[in-house]
Amino acid sequence: MTTEKATFGAGCFWGVESTFRAVPGVIDAAVGYAGGTTENPTYEDVCSHTTGHAEVVQVEFDPAIVSYDRLLDVFWSNHNPTTLNRQGPDVGDQYRSVIFYHSPEQEAAAEASKARLEKSGRFKRPIVTFIQPAPTFYRGEDYHQRYLEKRGMSNCAI
């Protein structure tokens, strides 16, 4: 089996991870940090707003079962891509909407998907989602992995 990676930031990573884990064809999903300037940041570092990292989920998936386009649909459907540095009650640059692409094909798919969504009229405000090359992914602390699952909680609306 050949797998691929996809990395998404869509607010607090706990709900995002849970959402992607439920998608058939997703092999694994890990929460972590990407897009900042500090190596090996901790949760506290990221929350200090001094590192520039976003809370993200890195998804490992089997493209024979689930397409990257399907993962993009899940991403767009499970957060508000029109709020800059905010998702619901969570405010800060670490909660920004971002797609970190791992290949030119992912970049093209993400840009096309965003353009379709903008033209659809689904949102009254402009989409502020960043689409950027995948930087180093720093896996989050163990207590953040499968956070909702460990607490017997279902995925919250994100």
Q: How far apart are CA 86 and CA 141, in angstroms?
A: 22
Paired residues of 98 in beta bridges: 9, 130
Element (H, E) at 44: helix 43-47
Q: How far apart are CA 137 and CA 158, in angstroms?
A: 22
Paired residues of 133 in beta bridges: 101
The single residue listed with the structure tokens 């992995």 is 145
Residue 12 catalytic? yes
Which of 141, 118, 122 lies closest to 131 in space, CA to CA? 118
Which of 14, 5, 35 lies closest to 150 in space, CA to CA? 14
Q: Which of 7, 8, 9, 12 is catalytic?
A: 12
Provide the 8-state DSSP code for 89.
T
Point out the residues that are catalytic. Answer: 12
